[in-house]
Structure 1
Amino acid sequence: MIRKIFTPLVLASIIACTNTDKNSSDPSKMTLVTLDPGHFHAALVQKSMYPNVDSNVYVYAPEGPDLQLHMDRINAYNTRAEDPTRWAEHVYTGADFFQKMIEEKKGNIVVMAGNNQKKTEYIYNTIDAGMNVLADKPMAINSEGFELLKKAFEKAAEKNVLLYDIMTERFEITTILQREFSQLKDVFGELEKGTPENPAVTKESVHHFYKFVSGNVLQRPAWFMDVTQQGEGIVDVTTHLVDLIQWACFPEQALDYTKDVELITAKRWPTTMTLSQFHAITKQNSFPDYLQKDLSNDTTLNVFCNGEINYKLRGVHAKVLVKWDYKAPEGTGDTHFSIMRGTRANLIIKQGKEENFKPVLYIEPVKKDDATFEEDLTKALATIQAKYPGVALKKLANKWQVVVPAEYDTGHEAHFAQVTENYLKYLSEGKLPHWEVPNMITKYYITTKALDLAKESGK
């Protein structure tokens, strides 16, 4: 059995999470290993149980608050009243935690969601050891990381293991339906090429440092505000937006970043945070030394978490923008805006006050006098309903709202299980879809090169 470190920090959580009826892994199942879980996404992978995954999980991490928060979240899932999980967490907290994980190989799927400063290095060395990796985004936060990530994918092919990142936004129902309608040429037409001023595809998201996760105010690690450890916004959340553009505009097509991508402009800017705001989300009473470089007037922290990228993908003009505010107004939360412009219709996702801050998909004809559009749209709806029964259309003044049954709105946290289930299927098949690896490489090329471009332009 793996050595268990019963420190005061994690003892209570280990006792709560360990299943005493079963303390050895089932060889017929996949087994999870969690590496240094500094981000709450690591716990969300375990918010659900999976039939083909062993209940034992092996955690390798340094002792500290990041580990404690992770264990608390797992314990909350294990002890909740409705559909509790049954994870048994086996924790190693030695200083050599990474080497110990590689040496012991207690599992065959390593989940990485935490500090991004060493993540790409961890990915490469874990792959080199012959272990599969399911990694939270971003897998690379700068150009040096991108080059190492390319080598990690080459090594994965050599070692016959799968490296995959957690793209939860592909499972948001309005995003799915936007993609589905864009494939119906009788409604959408052809995807426009656009211009830098009026891109064919735009995706924007607004996030918040102060937020609720699994019903509680999220406590963030202080390093989350250090862009050398978390990564700037232009290489972090934008990974989701860039991924969705590739996934929606060129479904199941392999992209080549050396031929298909042209960066046009990129910019970055900070969100400011007072010490009291910093304390509210980290529980720390002062700014750590590593954040001193980002302070102005010794009292205000500047976090470069905002970014915009304008680029062309196979000749299609695209724009992604990510913005972080400190806290959402009452009754609101993270928001998403997206538009895909077709020659016959525009597909628009909004999430504002009019939508009660829930994402809603609209279909807007390009020509107001398009006499047959409504008839063609009604016919096309049958194709959508064949895949998604219950989806309907509501006619508004000059557009249609796509009405989605509540059962399809599973929520962001549930998407982590959906990604994991997909990954488990790929593992059982022994391969990823042919387009996934080249498109992951293309995605991280766009984000990391955009960071270089933004810094070079001084924005």
Structure 2
Amino acid sequence: MYSNKIKMGAALALFAVSCSSPEVKTENAESDSKVRIMTLDPGHFHAGLIHKSMYPSVDSTVYIFAPEGPELKDHLNRIAGYNNRPENPTAWNLEVYTGADFLQKMISQKPGNVMMVAGKNDRKVDYILAAIENGIHVYADKPLVINPEGFKKLVKAFQLAEEKNLLLFDIMTERFEITTLLQREISMIPDVFGELETGTPENPAITKESVHHFFKYVSGSPLIRPDWFFDVNTEGDGILDVTTHLVDLIQWEAFPEVILDTTDVQMLSAKRWATSLTLEEFQKVTGKTEFSDFLQKDVKDGKLEVFSNGEMNYTLKGKHAKASVIWNFQAPEGSADTHYSMMRGTKANLIIRQGKDENYRPALYVELIDSEVAQLEKAVKETLQAKYPGIDLMKMPSGEYQVIVPDSYHNGHEAHFAQVTERFLEYYNAGKMPVWEVPNMITKYFTNIKAREFALK
């Protein structure tokens, strides 16, 4: 094991630096009001993306506690890339501790006040609970839990966090996608949208569909995923992962700032299915030459069966909702991950598409049913433009109206990590979150776990 302060230079030098100091320095850890981040076991690239930007209220020293290995190296290299980029370089300094006792060392030394965790989902809730029990705020990547036992621990963690006046917050980047923000805004204008329909299982009131890809580019480089990412016992079924975002958006848009409860959810049906990866594809995305031993249980006819796809149909406060996610290996040339969303109102439908016609950039359309275009134009001028200058309307040949969004608002998925981090920092500085955040997080993960239960029947 080693402990060292790394002032990030060339990425290749990261593992060449060493120091004999046996402990991470802890002086001044809580001497001011700044957030001091402790990153625990960073096994997912999202752990690095929050460091793509600097934040005035966050100390530039990040304390990392992790086992040695390729995942840590990838994390350090990613931050080094941000520190060394030509334009707007970051200036993160890293204090790194490696060893099998990394969790215990973080808790005993506690050089920071916020734990950031993104990695193996089967053990994440244990990390969260340990942090909360020891007076540490938690900023965590989704999903926080992947099974019923984990959900019980999560509820306990939230209860303890309330008692200790600590924040426990998951990273919901998709709330900051501009078309989703505008869809929510328009749905809250009764003269245009009316009220959310009740819907049916066949024609839900609100639908969220997402298509993702195992092989992609992140910060300009091919993403190498750890082999455990393809083990649903560690990563979780697809119905528990990306659908966390979708369920969150359903709650956030259909019932904005409303306190929800698990009793508001009635699961109707759910299913999961596998994406098959050839050995060549697995090698391309992981760098491994063979399917790992712990994955052999999922190898059928020479292909790895990954249960990454899922769909759920349920009601939330009586409104029918559908969330589904599909994982393919790689997006066709020129395309990317895509998102589809429909909110059906009594006066208009609000539709987000991200297909070929949109050049794979999300676009919001308004289909008027029992509303006048004058009402829509008024809403754009008086409500949307006040918050988002430059927003406009364009009538399409289909008769729908596209909400025109200036390029400056399309900042991309990676930029959303800075935005959601800034929101967490707002909550931290205020010493509290909105009253609906915690009960709605509990309801969200309850929905996921219930969907998994139905899918496994």
TM-score, normalised on structure 2?
Answer: 0.94
**How far 1:11 sits from its partner (Å)?**
8.1
- Taking structure 1 as reference, are residues 344 and 17 closer, same or farther at Cα in structure 2, changes over 3 Å only? farther
2:272 match = 268
**How far 1:378 sits from its partner (Å)?**
1.1
2:82 is the counterpart of 1:77: yes
1:343 match = 346
**How far 1:366 sits from its partner (Å)?**
2.1
Aligned ranges for residues 275-290 of structure 1 at < 5 Å?
275-290=279-294
Secondary structure of 2:204's aligned partner:
coil
Secondary structure of 2:444's aligned partner:
helix
**How far 1:121 sits from its partner (Å)?**
0.9
Aligned ranges for residues 54-93 of structure 1 at < 5 Å?
54-93=59-98
1:156 match = 161
2:377 match = 378
**How far 1:4 sits from its partner (Å)?**
2.5
Q: Match for 1:321 among 290, 315, 324?
A: 324
1:355 match = 358
2:453 is the counterpart of 1:452: yes
On the 8 A contact 1:390/1:405 being kept in 2, the answer is: yes
1:420 match = 421
Secondary structure of 1:248's aligned partner:
helix
Q: Match for 1:165 among 151, 161, 170?
A: 170
2:187 match = 182
- Taking structure 1 as reference, are residues 354 and 90 closer, same or farther at Cα in structure 2, changes over 3 Å only? same
- Taking structure 1 as reference, are residues 89 and 137 closer, same or farther at Cα in structure 2, changes over 3 Å only? same
On the 8 A contact 1:262/1:313 being kept in 2, the answer is: yes
1:400 match = 401
Secondary structure of 2:87's aligned partner:
coil
Aligned ranges for residues 188-227 of structure 1 at < 5 Å?
188-227=193-232
**Unaligned 5+ runs, structure 1:** none
On the 8 A contact 1:5/1:92 being kept in 2, the answer is: no
2:439 is the counterpart of 1:438: yes
Structure 1: distance between partners of 2:365 and 2:5:
54
**How far 1:381 sits from its partner (Å)?**
1.1
**How far 1:128 sits from its partner (Å)?**
0.5
On the 8 A contact 2:129/2:153 being kept in 1, the answer is: yes
Deviations 1:63-110 (A, max 9, x none): 000000000000000000000000011111111000000000010011
Structure 2: distance between partners of 1:336 and 1:106:
40
2:367 match = 364
Deviations 1:330-389 (A, max 9, x none): 00000000000000100000000000010000000125xx6xx11111111121111111
| Equivalent AA in structure 2 for residue 319 of structure 1 | K
On the 8 A contact 2:248/2:444 being kept in 1, the answer is: yes
Alignment length (residue pairs): 443
On the 8 A contact 1:25/1:56 being kept in 2, the answer is: no
- Taking structure 1 as reference, are residues 274 and 207 closer, same or farther at Cα in structure 2, changes over 3 Å only? same
On the 8 A contact 2:315/2:321 being kept in 1, the answer is: yes
| Equivalent AA in structure 1 for residue 363 of structure 2 | V
Structure 1: distance between partners of 2:392 and 2:60:
40
**How far 1:23 sits from its partner (Å)?**
10
Structure 2: distance between partners of 1:433 and 1:106:
28
| Equivalent AA in structure 1 for residue 344 of structure 2 | R
| Equivalent AA in structure 2 for residue 74 of structure 1 | I
Note the aligned Cα RMSD (angstroms). Answer: 1.8
